[in-house]
Amino acid sequence: MHGLCTFFKLLFVLQTLWTANASSFLSETLIRKDQVQSVLEHHPVNISECENPKPTGPIDTTMCDYETVESVNGDLFSNVHELVQLPFFKYFQIDLYRECPLGWADQSKCANPSCAITTIDESQVPLKWRASALSKVDGLVDERHELPGCYYRDSDFCWLDDNTEGDYYDLTLVPERFTGYSGPEAHRIWRTIYEENCFGLSEFTLMSGKAPAAVTLPDTMTDVLREDGADTDQCLEKRVYYKVISGLHASISTHICAEYLNQTTGEWSPNLQCFVNRIASHPERLQYIYFNTVLLLRAVARLGPYLTAYDYCSTGTVQDDVETKEKLLNVISIAQKAGKFDESVLFRGENANILKEEFKAHFRNVTRIMDCVGCDKCRLWGKIQTTGIATALKVLFELDEKALDPHTNANLLQRSEVVALVNTLHRFSESLEAVNQFRQLWADMSSTESEQLILEAEKAAIPIPRRSPTSRGESSNNLFDEARMRVVSFIQICKESTLGCMARIMRMCLQGLHGVSSIFHPSGKENGPGAYDEL
């Protein structure tokens, strides 16, 4: 009977692959026909609220739709882009040279000049934002868990610098763009993030569920999940975790393609072939950028009163404070329109606390993995964006309205968390703006040129055969290294949190049972998270 059920499930998936509607990347969660055209020939609409009478479809696991995000993003980007140019949000102090926690002895550094970044002298940073002043200010009173130079509190989803070490950077002078850092080193970073820290999901298993209704917007996020495969083995929290990671990956890839170095001319310009290969040929990746944008907007909306009361003044005059708050109020207003994410439906039930601790432990690991990135510029933006997303997760899942009250909890967030959150929202908003640029480039192409782009993308998508070990010794070393990495990660989690340790043990047991059952049917994870591995 189980085999028969598996057969019918497989038959349904194959039918979905053959009959998916390719008219718009918004209309289906699984598109395998004409997917490049569905992304690049989509025409954004202009609707102002998250209550459209006939939306194309809600963004999976949110209460917002694509039209709303598209219609507000132009205004959002212009405001947040100006905001991150202002003194408070452009200066960032961070330690980029902390030891890689995975102990990769062969960790290589990017020798390309594009990977390098320039620090600024501390004297350029307003006095109140220097390490000596910031280290005196503590936020939440949760117990600290410390390592040299960094720490996290029980409510945190990431490791934070303690401002005792590190350099200062002007983020406006360090654009996120193509650096040449790619190949096995970059792939190993993403592979570790997906395989070691995620819950074992793949894009295929996430996207194989029934598409959300294309006519009405559900009343709650639970309704969306009921229609989008909520009866599968993956719970909502695990699906959200994967979308967050994959959305970050897709956004970074979009920035790389949007500012790509022409090796012949030495100029930076959009590379449409890069975008087609990495994003347009996988519409679900673009959907995850929308998802993360809504999640970040919801966090900003909840933080509205706290951010409004924050002291941004730095020069002895009130001009900086006034200008910063003016732009910030515009961003908060937009966030209140489009940040429709119902965080209350997550982490409920008898195992909620264990699951949340495991979620936190995984994402904290992601923030530490960024210390293993071999490109300085990539490491900087990787650490900023994982901190920004972690801050949003903390705001949504850890802080109630009382904690968010700026009058009773003025030091709720570290300055680095506020700066990282806003800069990360800017990164995602800019990614969506870049997509419109790529659509215009596509529209200006001849049919012959566009067909050639798709042909090249299809060639790039052909799986590269796994390299066979040259000897038994090499195979044994690879297995030993992988086992050692997993043991180190497990020990670290148990040191940090008893609940997290228990959750990992439970997950290992469940994976063992799943491994036995998977012998009799395909796992759906044969192709992994994909090959867009550059940082």
21 near 32, Cβ under 8 Å?
Answer: no
In angstroms, rounded to a whole number, what is the distance separating the alpha carbons of residues 15 and 210? 12
In angstroms, rounded to a whole number, what is the distance separating the alpha carbons of residues 268 and 250? 20
* Cα angle: 329, vertex 333, 337; to 5 degrees: 165
Q: Which of 3, 42, 12, 11 is nearest to 24 (CA)?
A: 42
- Give me the catalytic one of 198, 313, 372, 378: 378
Q: Is 501 tagged catalytic?
A: no
Give every CB contact of residue 125 below 8 A, 6+ residues apart in sequence: 91, 93, 168
DSSP-based three-state secondary structure for 481: helix
- The one-letter code for the residue type at 349 is G
Scan for tokens 């170095």, then name that residue. Answer: 261
- Give me the catalytic one of 158, 198, 372, 375: 375
Structure-token pair, residue 236: 């909502």
| Measured CA distances, 400 to 153, 296, 310, 404, 419 (Å) | 16, 17, 18, 6, 21
* Bridge partners of residue 261, in order along the sequence: 268
Give every CB contact of residue 471 below 8 A, 6+ residues apart in sequence: none
In angstroms, rounded to a whole number, what is the distance separating the alpha carbons of residues 175 and 127? 25
Between strands 91-94 and 167-170, the pairing is antiparallel
* Bridge partners of residue 420, in order along the sequence: none
Q: Is 378 tagged catalytic?
A: yes
Structure-token pair, residue 174: 């360090």
H or E element, residue 168: strand 167-170
72 near 334, Cβ under 8 Å?
Answer: yes
Active-site residues: which are they?
375, 378
